[in-house]
Structure 1
Amino acid sequence: MSLAALLEAGESVFSAWSSIPDSQTVELVAGLDFGAVTLDMQHGGHHEDSVLRGIGGIRLNRKHPMVRIPVGRFDMASRALDMGAEAVIAPMVNSVQDARAFAAAMKYPPTGLRSWGPSFAMPRSGKSDGQAWLETANAETIAFAMIETRQALSALDDVLAVDGIDGVLVGPSDFSIAWSNGRTVDPALEDMMPAIETIAQKTRAAGKHAAIYVVDPGLVGRFHEMGFRLFALGAEAAYMQEGAPAMLKAARDSIKF
């Protein structure tokens, strides 16, 4: 089942977050018990070559590949899809103009202006019928516009109305900086939680997908109640920091003095 189909069905999807541009590392992350893996080109080290190679490892583990492109690199959105990504996250979508440019890169005509060339995407998806691909690709590729500024919040209704924008992904760290007028970075800032809930509610009311990056996994339940269904968690460093202490504790506890 595609990522789009899972979200349409209301399923909760957890995405790993990959910052290290190494295909073997990506493959190891994809082997963890996440439903999807996001390759981060904005703040992570991923680049075009690592995305091309990394998506192969994600597909090999039967997980859903996602890519966060750099700010304004809507050309990379099309390339990520051609490399086999199922979803693309565009950061700093602060206006309806940004949303339209992003949607145009993500969708084939008549919705958008995506150029034909799924030479990697089709075989990686196990498909070979070009006509069937053309007829289904727009519905099965997800354009997530990031909402992380006051400008984006003000433009939310117009962004959600853009044909080809399938959902939003909240970046709570940047949102907290904007919400506090630059005074703090706190992805769990209580003062901004009503605004985040409003984002989820408006997104769901528009028939689109609500996603969020979660620094504290304990907040997932609260965000789920707000209406979010895709949750991005951690990154390679966090997975090692969580796992290594548990292994060392078990080893040390096993020694009998």
Structure 2
Amino acid sequence: MSAVDLLIVAGVALVAGVINSIAGGGSLILFPTLVALGLPTVAANVTNSVAQWPGYLGGVAGFRAEYAGQRGRLIRFGIVAVLGGTTGSVLLLTTPSEAFDVVVPVLVLLASLLLAVQPLLTRRLRGEEGDRGTRPDPAWLYVALFLATVYGGYFGGALGVILVGVLGIGLHRLKLANALKSALSAVTATVTLVVFGLFGPIDWLVVAVAAPASLVGGFVGARIATRIPSTPLRIFIVVFGVAVSIYLFSRS
């Protein structure tokens, strides 16, 4: 990539970090930018995943208080996320790139639609919020978390929305679901970092530019999140994501 391309990547990664802190969906901005700048779709996907990894650590730090008394659950869910993230990452790297080219428009569209219904899902879960007490987590929750993190390892766009939905329904505690979402996203992202770092077609120059920009963007977004309405930003991301999926459909 040229110096101008790298400046574009840095700027978009900064914006993606801000978007992730305010509304979520930053991947739907950075991934198509990397494709537009000439990276093959698989390389753009793995590079995007690695570049946004630092932002997930900040999310975990921000929810430290919510993790009190959740050590056992974090370990159990974390193991599931490691298995799911590994499965998704290996699946991406071992299936033909043509298969990813076919499925990625569907995944981008799915991620965009999930982001669109996120406020509705959040309101519903908040209305049903309660305390499960000492009852064990339902078995189906582990299966759903495994499938969600497989998706996260394979593509990852709007993974946080999926995790909040699954955890909110399974635990009936939205605040805890949101906190656990950040932890499981970080675990999944760390797995993809290791697998893709060792075996994936990562553009490390892009990562060197995008990762710190994304981290700064996440910090800035967290500071201004209460001052910027998330709804118009979410609408923009959803419309942009749908447009990207239509473009990718036309290419496949």
TM (norm. structure 2) is 0.28
Structure with the higher fraction of residues in strand conformation = 1
TM (norm. structure 1) is 0.27
